[in-house]
Structure 1
């Protein structure tokens, strides 16, 4: 059991590293390839890349790739379309927000931590589904607001980047998308759902690309490396590692905390690859927001055990 937990932690941390460095790839593409074009290519490649993953995982479970029951196929398609629409909104807001940061701004740091706030928005939005968030989430919200001040507003509202606002909205959209996935994940195959939602995202992004953008083939070819990283590594490999890691995880809270470390690696990736070093107040903001992200994922059972010990 100990070996499985170590393996699980290693896989989930690797996924977090991959996802964190994906912000660097997105930032490098933001100057040359427009958002809808990026997500069209990224999502369609990711959808195809996840098909063999789905085939292997289904084979291990002794099930065929195609659902035998028509009702199950219908449910999978419905889930893929709903989750895909929300994923399309989320990833395009994120890419658009990253493209709005001025040259020299630590875009990876800002976008990484602001996107990670979906972890706090998920339980807050869960209130609409009559799910009480708990005390830890309340503490996390307060810390997140303080962290947001240090990260984005320390020098006044004039220091607030337009990209910050868009990425914050993106975090809210990701929270809704996660709630949609949570609604269906127990009823459909997780990998097939992911592949289908990427397909929907790719198709919708392609329509928006043809309406609002003019794809530049030389720019796309020049950005092949970050595009493949986002498609294969971030979406395909990262998602597969998450599935395997969570399968062996004995502590869901630890698994969530490890995956949320992507925000830390987004900052490190920006420093290492883009030489975008955050200012002291931005480091403080990142630290406070990381604490908020971790606290938001602590199980309520910890609080209950603490109360029982004191009594």
Structure 2
């Protein structure tokens, strides 16, 4: 199995975990405030990586694998973790608060607009653009209209928060893609989660009522959100992106919206209107179209080699 294929499979698994996490996050909101929930799940995600870090380092020592001094530069890990964690905090906060006012399925599709936004925002760091990106963006925008825009041309508050959050999720993809090759990925993950947790806790202490009984009631969603959605999925993303361009990663991650909609329908009984499903279909189509140049280019290269 090639590194590229393995990265794609890891990103697909990441998308499935994240998509189903929308269900866990929405259930968690029945018991906890948005920032309390995020503080706990990201703290759990950060802590869950500590034994993994020690295990990997111990394994490398036993195998005689020398550590790269640059990858383990504490100052860089702390600095990069603070930057990535701050972006993650903003994106996660908008998503979690938005889930109070919208469904898991709609949140999944709107959040997944970062698939289209990644290459567009990449223009600001001199990444190349192409016609597929702009066609995909237009198709996705039309889909967003059918999914979220009401007849009086207004958008629901929860959907608006998810839309703003999509810009920050796209920024986070680019930030991780930039830092992942510079420092130890596990330590970077732990640092960014800790930063996000601390920022969330600071806001929660000011604006939310934190009660132990409610935390226990939300135990299962917190565990899934912390161990699976954060500890496992974000780490898979960081590791996989070492061998995948941000735009390529977006192809696999686009299925997150599908998993969110399926999870919302099966586990929460959420049902969208025909108009909503049509909009969701267009949004997913737009996400894939925006990556058309990568798909065609990759296939062309394979055909050239086979010939």
Normalising to structure 1: TM-score of the pair?
0.85
Aligned equivalents of 1:123, 1:130: Cα separation in 2: 10
CA contact (8 A) 1:43 1:199 kept: yes
Query: Is the CA contact 2:189–2:238 (under 8 Å) kept in the aligned structure 1?
Result: no
Give the Å deviation of 1:246: 6.1
Counterpart in the other structure of 2:88: 87
Per-residue deviation, 1:141? 0.6
Aligned 1:82-231 pairs, distance under 5 A: 82-101=83-102, 107-153=103-149, 155-158=151-154, 160-231=155-226
Aligned equivalents of 1:258, 1:17: Cα separation in 2: 10
Quick one: distance in 2 between partners of 1:301 and 1:223? 41
1:18 equivalent in alignment to 2:17: yes
Alpha-carbon deviation of 1:302?
Answer: 2.5
Q: Superposed, which structure 2 residues align to 1:65-80 within 5 Å?
A: 68=69, 72-80=73-81
Q: Which residue of 2 aligns with 1:258?
A: 252
Unaligned runs of 5+ in 1: 102-106
- The corresponding residue for 1:49 is 48
Counterpart Cα distance in 2 of 1:70 and 1:282: 46
The 2-side partners of 1:85 and 1:286 are apart by: 29
Q: Decide whether aligned partners of structure 1 residues 68 and 111 sit closer, same or farther in structure 2, where only a CA change above 3 A counts.
A: same
Work out the CA distance in 2 between the residues paired with 1:119 and 1:263.
Answer: 11
Name the stretch that deviates more: 142-151 or 47-56.
47-56
What is the CA–CA distance in structure 1 between the aligned matches of 2:290 and 2:57, rounded to whole Å? 33
CA contact under 8 A between 1:31 and 1:99: conserved in structure 2?
no
CA displacement at 1:168 relative to structure 2: 0.6
Shift of 1:303: 6.0
| 1:179 positional shift | 2.2
Contact 2:147 2:278 in 1 (8 A): yes
- CA distance in structure 2 between the partners assigned to 1:183 and 1:245 by the alignment: 13
Q: For residues 273-294 of structure 1, what are the alpha-carbon distances to aligned partners after superposition, in whole Å with 9 as ceiling and x for unaligned?
A: 0001111111111111111112
| Aligned residue in 2 for 1:104 | none
Instruction: Look up the SS of the partner of 1:177 in the other structure.
Output: helix
Whether the 8 Å contact between 2:72 and 2:184 is mirrored in structure 1 is: no
Distance 2:58 2:13 in 1: 25
2:112 and 2:166 in contact (8 A); partners too = yes
After superposition, the Cα gap between the structure-2 partners of 1:256 and 1:166, relative to the gap in structure 1 and judged at 3 Å, is: closer
The alignment status of 1:292 with 2:286, answered yes or no, reads yes
Which structure 2 segments of 5+ residues have no match? none
C-alpha distance after superposition, 1:53-94 (max 9, x if no partner): 333444555355xx7569922111110111111111110111
- CA-CA distance at 1:134 after TM superposition: 1.6
Moved more, 175-184 or 200-209: 175-184
